[in-house]
Amino acid sequence: MPNPRDPVAGDGPVFCCLRCGDSTPLPRCRHCHHEFESVDGIYQLTLDADSNLDRRRGATYIGYERVGAYFHGRDWAESACDAGTMALGAKMSELTAAGTLLDVGCGGGRYAVPAALHGCTVIGGDISNGMLRLLLRKAATNRVAPGRIVACRLNALSLPLPEASVDGATLNNVLHLVSEPERVISEVYRVLRPGGKLLTQVDVPTGDDRRNAGRNAEYDCREVEFHNRYWELLTERGIPLAPRNRSFNRHSTRLAAFEAVFGPGVRVDVPFSDRQVQSMTDAFLYRMGGKGFSAQQTVPDDIHEATFARVVEEFRIKYGRDFGDLTCEIVTLGLALHVFEK
Ligand SMILES: C[S@@+](CC[C@H](N)C(=O)[O-])C[C@H]1O[C@@H](n2cnc3c(N)ncnc32)[C@H](O)[C@@H]1O
Ligand SMILES: [Zn+2]
């Protein structure tokens, strides 16, 4: 007799029923017939708030409901996946034998969509419906086959998935937003099947960066100056910087935390090179103007608008009306994933 709590094979991804707790594919529990709620094609698998910065209510985290398109840049959802993420998606699919891949904190689908295009069935999990709507639009633009991506509103701190139910997982640019990153990593470990892999993108310092150190010096200075002035004005108004786990911005800290749970991992290189030029208006100002940085999530909209407009005006006076035309060059020489196996 199969145990009804065992994950079901060959039936698409399985989840924990929110009513009876048993393993079941969506949209209806095989055991108690509970219908999973879906809004705009997104399964609602948690009742937790988008962000919880209230320490009295356990682990804190910053979700991206208000960030939306500003995080990924203008026209994100309506554009094709870029070549770099397609190369990473192909490698993710190869490393997981095109199985079920859980993308934790998937955002607008930077990794989920390319992995699905290369044959994985992706569980795109995020705490923000706004980001998940973006993921679904990005998937539609890129003609991802129906059923290849299952969008789920979930909390990474308590994954609504049975033990040993996915072949692979990916976790990118999320842990610094969570007060207990170790808990997210153990949740991912729990839901991976034995032999399943956790993949995370490695920040590759490129030879080119070193050769051309200072290439974007003027751009970097102007960006930092803008950022500092914005926060200076907010601090004067008593608005604190949103807390986040700064050390988890460092790649070495993240790798050590993965190693503590999985043991040593291996680095897998993905050959790729690219060079792009971006203006301050299109990149930094677009994102900051839209409250697209995590630190801005707790700034009230009206105060943000007034403060941002004031700094823009100051910069126009200081550097000229076209101060945002300044460009920076982004060079990518090689991509890599770090791979941990359960
Ligand atoms: C910086 S974005 C990264 C998105 C994507 N992984 C990427 O690298 O492009 C972080 C994402 O994590 C999500 N997030 C933050 N805390 C979370 C939590 N506790 N559970 C699930 N998602 C969370 C946010 O809503 C946001 O979409
Ligand atoms: Zn049930």
pLDDT per residue as tens digits for the range 116-127: 999 999 999 999
Q: Where are the domains of the chain?
A: 15-205+245-271+336-341, 209-242+274-330
User: Averaged over 182-195, what is the pLDDT?
Assistant: 98
Q: Taking the mean position of all CA atoms in its chain, how far away is CA 268?
A: 20
Cβ neighbours of 271 (radius 10 Å): 10
Question: Would the CB of 156 count as within 6 Å of ligand 1?
Answer: yes
Alpha helices in the chain (DSSP H): 69-72, 83-95, 112-117, 129-141, 181-191, 207-211, 217-236, 251-262, 286-289, 301-319
Question: Would the CB of 112 count as within 6 Å of ligand 1?
Answer: no
Residue 219 predicted with pLDDT over 50: yes
Of 82-86, 181-185, 204-208, 307-311, the least confident:
204-208
What is the band of 6 on the pLDDT scale with cuts at 50, 70, 90? very low
pLDDT at 212: 52
Q: Is the peptide bond before 114 cis (omega within 30 degrees of 0)?
A: no
Q: Write down the architecture of domain 15-205+245-271+336-341 according to CATH.
A: 3-Layer(aba) Sandwich (3.40)
Of 77-86, 216-225, 245-254, the least confident:
245-254
Kindly identify the ligand whose nearest atom is closest to the C-alpha of 33. Answer: 2
- The residue contributing the CA closest to ligand 1 atom 9 is 110
Residue 78 predicted with pLDDT over 70: yes
Q: Identify which of 102, 213, 204 has the alpha carbon closest to the alpha carbon of residue 151.
A: 102
Average pLDDT score over the chain:
91
pLDDT at 11: 61
Question: Would the CB of 114 count as within 6 Å of ligand 1?
Answer: no
Q: What is each CA distance from 38 to 121, 154, 235, 309, in whole angstroms?
A: 19, 12, 40, 38
**What are 251-291's pLDDT values in tens digits?**
788 899 999 999 999 999 998 988 889 999 999 999 999 99
Rounded-to-integer distance, Cα 280 and Cα 70, Å: 14
237 CB contacts (<8 Å, ≥6 apart)? 303, 307
Residue 342 predicted with pLDDT over 70: yes
Rounded-to-integer distance, Cα 330 and Cα 211, Å: 13
**What are 111-156's pLDDT values in tens digits?**
999 999 999 999 999 999 999 999 999 999 999 998 999 999 999 9
Please tell me what DSSP assigns to residue 13.
-
Question: Would the CB of 172 count as within 6 Å of ligand 1?
Answer: yes
pLDDT at 216: 84
Question: Would the CB of 126 count as within 6 Å of ligand 1?
Answer: yes
Rounded-to-integer distance, Cα 94 and Cα 204, Å: 21
User: Averaged over 205-210, what is the pLDDT?
Assistant: 50
Considering only residues 188 and 251, tell me which one the structure prediction assigns the higher pLDDT.
188
Rounded-to-integer distance, Cα 13 and Cα 174, Å: 22
- The residue contributing the CA closest to ligand 1 atom 4 is 107
The DSSP bridge partners found for residue 192 are: 166
Q: How far is ligand 1, taken at its centre, from the CA of residue 156, in Å?
A: 9
